[in-house]
Each structure stands twice: as structure tokens, then as C-alpha cells.
Chain A
Amino acid sequence: MREIWAVARKDLRIEARSKVVATQVLPFALIILVLFGLALDADRSTLRAFTPGLFWVATLFAAILAIQRSVSVETSSSAFEALRLSGTPGWKLFGGKALAVALQLVAIEAVLAIGVVVLYRSSFADPVLVVTAALAATVAIAAAGSLYGVLAVGMGVRDTILPMLLLPILAPVLVAATRAFDDGLGTAAVNGWSWCGLLGLFALIYVVIGSAAYAVVIEDA
């Protein structure tokens, strides 16, 4: 666990200094919320109905930028090579990178949650479901993103290929998280907890695959 926390703390410290996520990714996510509101030209009740989907689309786009930033921290200093040289097991490196992305995503989601309340006048019918679903989806996004981010570096076309690789993989997470939020925000009569369970399963699968595959994909990074 020491190594996992060391990797995560290092990434979070770099973000605290560089403020890339705070000053670029977060405003970008908020702009998406505003633009959707303008583009749909809808009244508040329609926006409220669309809130779960808009929230998670904004989160996914922001996540792609956060993941690209997490990867560029390593590539800009050839540190992937140093990470390999450290002899640290791949699953621990993966755990640290994914944990840092997840914590940044939690912060982004918290601000986006305030955003949908202020902009769309959304409310939380079941806050526990919303938080649980958000955490499960965040773990899934961070795990898949951390793995595919390094995979994209190995392919040598990281900036352009990552969304193409990642979004199809995360489409099931988007659907499940949106359905769970439908219940949690009271915008549709669905069983949110069963969707939340599915999100937990996705998170588990991505964490297991990422832990097992990271040592392999980092060899080409």
C-alpha cells in the first residue's frame, strides 16, 4: 500500500502545483453543462430530465482530459522508464495512478453536482444512491482510463487515440451511471440500486484487468 499511496500522492501533489485539472479540466466540464443547456434550448423541467445523462457525459469528457494529464506527467519526464526501473509491481503503479485520477474525478463530480443544481435546478431524491453510484462509476472510469492511457502512449498516438479507445469501453458505465442517477435524482422510475450494482461489477472488472495488464502495457510506454 505504501507504493500505491506514494504514486497517488505524487500525482496529486503535481496537480496541486500545476493546477491543470483545477484551471482547465474543471472549467471545461462546467462549460459542457452550460453549452448543453444552451444547445437544448430547453426549459428547466426538460433539463432536469436530462440531467443524469448530461452530468455523466460532462464527467466522461473531463475524465479523458484528466487521464491524458496523468499520462503526460510521466511521459514529459520519461518517468515511465523510471517507474519500470523501480522494480515496483505493475498493479501497485496502476493502483496509484488510478487512485489519483479517481480522487480528481470525485472533485470534478462534486463541482458538476453543484453545477446541475444551480443551472438545471436538479435535486437529489436519494443522495445515498447518487453518491454510491458516483463512486462506483468513478472507480470504473479511473481504472479503465489509467490502463488505456498508458496503452495509448505505447501506440504512439496518445493525444488523438485515447477517446477513441476509451469511450466505447466506458459506454456501459455511462449507461449504468445515467440510469442509477435517474433514480437517485428522481427523473425516471427505474431501480437505481440494480444499476448501481452493475456499476460496481464494471468497476471490479476494470480494476482486476488493469491490475493484471498494467505491468505489460507499461513496457511499451
Chain B
Amino acid sequence: MRNAVVLLGRFPALAGLDLELAPGTVTLVQGPNGAGKTTLLRLLAGLAPLESGSATVLGHDVTIEKRRVRASVGLLSPATMLYDDLTIKENLDFWATLSGHSDADTLAALKRVRMVEFAQQRVVTLSTGQRRRAAIAVVALRRPRLWLLDEPHAGLDQSGRDIVDGLIEDAIAAGATVVVASHELARVRPLATHIATVAGGIVHQFETLVPNA
């Protein structure tokens, strides 16, 4: 993206941000609250409207080809985007139908986040961590080419955190690209190939990490 500006009301959440991510990389986006990390992820997902500048995701312009961008990305946001009155299985089946995936994909996603035994439980009855796992399963189900993870470890126990790390590793092995916005630097840094430091709506520093350094 080049000189990307995104406004939240009149406030420039992104104020001329430049960023280029190579396929198959894991980029840790770090920065203080209000720096623009979440807005950056939303822009990459084709959800935040670009006021000026340009942004291309997986070869598609985020303004002109929103639907293509959205169909190729998976966004884990602070809101779980799950329907409380449906079971986890019903939620996953619904999103699987809309994104053209099968029952087998749903089951695989549930297994991946170790939630098979809770599949028939309504979301409203789940703990915060279990809801978070279910939300992660929805992202995993889509098998996106670009994973956008906003504080993916938040609210998870050790087992859940390990699942997130494993999913990031699996995604990279499958050739996907991962962007993780997180305050848990010690947790994400070992997985990251790059670190983008964001403040005031722009990228202040972009580092390439040496593997296993």
C-alpha cells in the first residue's frame, strides 16, 4: 500500500501509511493503542474505506475489487462475529456455506482448535476463551491466503495460545501470508519474519528478522 489514508470520522486512523508485504511472511504489527494497527488490518481485509492513496491485496485493489479481497482473507478481530443463539457447529456450518466450504472443512477446523466436544454447545454458554477458539476456527475454516490476526492470543489459555501459534505455522507452510497485530511481542516475535512498528497511522520502522535469531 502506498500513502494509504483511512479516516475514522474525521480522525486519520491511517495517515499516509506505506507498507509492502511479501507472500509467505509473518509480519508482527506493533505499536501503542490508537496507532492504527486494527485499521491497518481492516484495510487489508477490504473493510476500511481508503480515503486516499492506494492498496493492493493479493493482486486486487481493495477499493475496486473488495469482494475478491474479502473472499481471500481471514480476519480474526476482537469481536467474535459468532451468533450467540447458534451452536458452534451451526455457526461454522453457516460460514462454511457462505464461503463455499464443506462439512469436512468444518470438522477439520473444529479439530484444529480442539473444540469438537463443544460443537453442539450454544455460543452464549461458552467462556470467553472458548468463544475465541470458535472464532479462530471460523478463520481457519476459510483457509485464507492472507491471515489477519488482531490480538490472536487475547483471552486464550496456554493450550489456546499454542493452537494459534500452530495455525500461523501451518498457514505459512501452506504458502499463506500472515499479519499479526499484537501487544504480546515476546509471544509473536519468534514466529515473525518481519516487524512493522506503527504509530500515528504510519509505519515508523519496518524490520526484517533473521530466522531463529
Of residues 53 to 87 in A, which have CB atoms within 8 Å of B's CB atoms?
Answer: 73, 76-79, 81-87
Q: Is B83 within 8 A of A3, CB to CB? A: no
Q: Which residues of A contact B85 (CB under 8 A)?
A: 13-14, 17-18
B45, closest chain A residue (CB): A85
Shortest A183–chain B CB gap in Å is 41
Q: Is B80 within 8 A of A86, CB to CB? A: no
Q: Is A13 within 8 A of B97, CB to CB? A: no
B81, closest chain A residue (CB): A82
Shortest B119–chain A CB gap in Å is 15
Q: Is A77 within 8 A of B81, CB to CB? A: yes
Q: Is B81 within 8 A of A78, CB to CB? A: yes
Shortest B137–chain A CB gap in Å is 13
Q: Which residues of A contact B45 (CB under 8 A)?
A: 85
**Given contacts A3-B97, A85-B45, A77 and B79 within 8 Å (CB-CB):** yes
Q: Is B33 an interface residue (CB 8 A)?
A: no
Shortest A17–chain B CB gap in Å is 4
Shortest B109–chain A CB gap in Å is 15
Residue in contact with B98 in the complex, picked from A6, A18, A76, A81, CB distance below 8 Å? A6
> Which of the 9-residue segments B69-77, B189-197, B205-213 touches chain A?
B69-77
Residue in contact with B79 in the complex, picked from A81, A87, A89, CB distance below 8 Å? A81
Q: Which residues of B contact A77 (CB under 8 A)?
A: 79-84
Shortest B146–chain A CB gap in Å is 12
Of residues 1 to 35 in A, which have CB atoms within 8 Å of B's CB atoms?
Answer: 2-3, 6-7, 10, 13-14, 17-18
Give the CA-CA distance A89 to B94 in the complex, in Å.
15
Residue in contact with A81 in the complex, picked from B68, B71, B77, CB distance below 8 Å? B77
Across chains A and B, the number of contacting residue pairs, with CB separation under 8 Å, is 67
Q: Is B18 an interface residue (CB 8 A)?
A: no
Q: Which residues of A contact B68 (CB under 8 A)?
A: 87
Of residues 18 to 72 in B, which have CB atoms within 8 Å of A's CB atoms?
Answer: 45-47, 49, 67-68, 70-71
Interface string of B79-95 (1 = CB under 8 A from A): 11111111000100011
Give the CA-CA distance A73 to B85 in the complex, in Å.
9
Q: Is A85 within 8 A of B94, CB to CB? A: no
Instruction: Give the size of the chain B interface in residues (CB under 8 angstroms).
Output: 27
Residue in contact with A10 in the complex, picked from B67, B79, B81, B86, CB distance below 8 Å? B86
Q: Which residues of A contact B75 (CB under 8 A)?
A: 85
A78, closest chain B residue (CB): B79
Q: Which residues of B contact A191 (CB under 8 A)?
A: none
Give the CA-CA distance A89 to B46 in the complex, in Å.
15
Looking at A2, A6, A76, A86, the one whose CB has the most chain B CB atoms below 10 A away is: A86
Q: Is A84 within 8 A of B81, CB to CB? A: no
**Given contacts A73-B83, A78-B77, A87 and B67 within 8 Å (CB-CB):** yes
Residue in contact with B73 in the complex, picked from A6, A7, A82, A85, CB distance below 8 Å? A85
Shortest A206–chain B CB gap in Å is 24
Give the CA-CA distance A73 to B86 in the complex, in Å.
11
Give the CA-CA distance A62 to B122 in the complex, in Å.
28
Q: Is A88 an interface residue (CB 8 A)?
A: yes
Shortest A9–chain B CB gap in Å is 8
Give the CA-CA distance A77 to B68 in the complex, in Å.
24
Q: Which residues of B contact A84 (CB under 8 A)?
A: 47, 70
**Given contacts A77-B79, A86-B98, A13 and B73 within 8 Å (CB-CB):** no
Residue in contact with B83 in the complex, picked from A14, A86, A88, CB distance below 8 Å? A14
**Can you list 14 A-B contacts with CB-CB less than 8 angstroms, sorted by A residue number?**
A3-B97, A6-B97, A13-B86, A17-B122, A76-B84, A77-B82, A77-B84, A78-B80, A78-B81, A81-B47, A84-B47, A85-B70, A89-B67, A219-B49
Chain A interface residues toward B at CB < 8 A: 2-3, 6-7, 10, 13-14, 17-18, 73, 76-79, 81-89, 219
